[in-house]
Structure formats: C-alpha cells, structure tokens
Amino acid sequence: MATLLDQLKEMTVVVADTGDIQAIEKFTPRDATTNPSLITAAAQMPQYQGIVDDTLKAARETLGADAPASEVVSLAFDRLAVSFGLKILDIVPGRVSTEVDARLSFDTEATIAKGRDLIAQYEAAGVSRERILIKIAATWEGVMAAKVLEEEGIHTNLTLVFGLHQAVACGENGIQLISPFVGRILDWYKKDTGRDSYAPAEDPGVISVTEIYNYFKKFGLETEVMGASFRNVGEITELAGVDLLTISPALLDELHSTEGDLPRKLNVDDAKASDVERIDMTEETFKAMHAADRMATEKLQEGIDGFAKALETLEELLANRLAELES
C-alpha cells in the first residue's frame, strides 16, 4: 500500500516548511517555504556554517575593510535568507518563499521596497522571479504592499493568515498565494477553552482553512491556498485536496513512514455547493472583522512579534560570528 505522503502528493502540492537543506533533499517537495525562525534555526546548524560565513565575507567585501561591523552585519542579514533560498532552489524544482522583515509588517512602502530588493538579489544571482514568492504578513498594510508587488510581476505569499477576512483581502487583491495557519489556531483554542484535544475534523484550524478554500473556489478567486503550521498528521490528512500544504520535516517523515488509505477531503465541486456568502472586503470591513476576531488579532500580533524576535537573534548571531571571523 502507498504511503500517506505519496497519496497526498497525488492531490495536493507538498511543500517543505524548513531551512534545513538536507531535509528538503530527503523529501523531494516541489516548493519550499522559509521564515525568520527557520532561517535562524538553520543558521545555527554546524552543516550550514559555510553559508553564514560566506554571506558575512561577501558583505565585508562589498562594503570594504573600513566599514563598521554593524553595517557588514546589516548587509549580511539582508542577504542571508536569499543565500539559503539559492541553495534550496538547487534542490526543489519549483519555488521558494523568502520573508520580508517582520518588523515592517505595518509599513506598506517599506515592505514594497524590501520585496523589490529581495527579488533584485535573486535576479542578480540568475534566478527568475517566477521561482520566488515574497513572504509578507497578512496585515492590511501587507496586503496593500503585496498588491503593488504583484502588479510589478513580483509574486507574494501572504502569511500569518488566521481569519477569513485576511484571506478574502488577499484573494480580491490578486495575491499569488496565502498561508492560512492551522496549528497555531488549534493552540489558541486549546488555551482559551482548556480543552486538551480536538478530533481532526473538529480542529478549529482545519475548519478555518476549509472555509477559506471553499470561499475561494466558490467565488473563483485564483489565489493559491496553502495550509501551514501543523501540530499533527491528522490536521494534514483532513485537508487532503487543498491546493498546497507546507509541512515540517518531522511530519513529512511521519507521512512518509505511514501506510493507509488517504481519502480526498477538499474538492472544487463541494466548495461550489457550499453556502458561504460573498464579503465586500474594504479596509473598513477588514479592520472591523479583525477587531471582532480575538483569536486572529492575538495570533497575528504574536506571529509578527515571534518572527521579529527571531530576526534579532539572527542579527546577534551574525555579529558574534563576524567578530570571530575577523579576530
């Protein structure tokens, strides 16, 4: 009997959610996603020290021997996610998602500038922009930045999606792909209700992604829906049939080593028959729906803060490593 992973790949595009290049080689996903936490974790693995060192040395070479260490670290920091992305693109046949600095999540113009810069780095390395998704937090300001980038032919992945209002705003503004989170929604509900567990079909994160998928397919929104942030295999199998799923190496391994029948749970025909109603998504509607959704409000801010903290850790790591290299 085929493994769950093999069957899943027949109906959903499987994406590796990691900066660990060796894990990506093992599971042969089509695409890969990274985020500040994953890049920071990978940068601390001994096997990737060379990527970090080469990025720091190249930044020093660009700026010259007299440049302050702080400027070298800042430039290396801007380049490191692309350095990992380039290595990943040597392995995956499809796309890699590279994230804009989370500290810019409420600054439309700065996010646009950073997205253009990341694409310029990839194109300077000979990579087509078609293979890159610029990852941006799904604030209203982030959606507006992504809309401008999409109009320039720079494709985006809007992340930290916890509510239908975020997803609809992306779908109506021509965003290439969204990453609605599953496990982090489950975490919130378990903490809020005191409940220990949910069956996969009752999992609030699964229900959220299903609602988003059905809405997009019913109303013909072309944005790709990629479920993200999983706590267990049940959440993944319950979303079989969604456009894409980005999965951690540990859960990919579990899917790879488990045999059994995997039925399709999501499909376009059922979505079109669903009774979801269309929302006219304006900035006012977005902000009202967001304010009314305590879970989405808390988890979006928590996600942005968590990624910002990971970036600060990475900056510190780079500063310490540069000092070692130049001592």
What is the tens place of the pLDDT at every residue in 273-313? 999 999 999 999 999 999 999 999 999 999 999 999 999 99
Confidence grade of residue 119 (pLDDT, cut at 50, 70, 90): very high
Which residues have CB under 8 Å from 128's CB, separation 6+?
none
The H-or-E segment that residue 315 falls in is: helix 294-325
pLDDT at residue 196 in the model: 95
Please give, one letter per residue, the 3-state secondary structure of 216-252.
HHHCCCCCEEEEECCCCHHHHHCCCCCCEEEECHHHH
Q: What domains does the chain contain, in order, with CATH numbers?
A: 4-34+94-310 (3.20.20.70)
Q: What is the pTM of this model?
A: 0.96
pLDDT, tens only, 135-193? 999 999 999 999 999 999 999 999 999 999 999 999 999 999 999 999 999 999 999 99
Confidence grade of residue 268 (pLDDT, cut at 50, 70, 90): very high
Alpha-carbon gap, residue 288 to 295, rounded angstroms: 14
C-alpha pair distances (Å), 284 with each of 51, 130, 147, 165: 44, 33, 17, 11
Is the alpha carbon torsion for 99, 76, 38, 184 positive or negative?
Answer: negative
**Counts for the chain of helices (H) and strands (E), in that order:** 15, 8
- pLDDT (average), residues 236-260: 97
Mean pLDDT over all residues of the chain? 97
Q: Which of 9, 26, 87, 135 is catalytic?
A: 135
DSSP state of 202: G
pLDDT, tens only, 84-117? 999 999 999 999 999 999 999 999 999 999 999 9
Decide if 135 is catalytic.
yes
Asked if pLDDT for residue 1 goes beyond 90, the answer is: no
C-alpha pair distances (Å), 226 with each of 46, 143, 182, 223, 281: 31, 16, 10, 10, 21
Bridge-partner residues for 3, per DSSP?
259
pLDDT, tens only, 9-36? 999 999 999 999 999 999 989 999 999 9
- pLDDT (average), residues 29-46: 94
- pLDDT (average), residues 190-198: 97
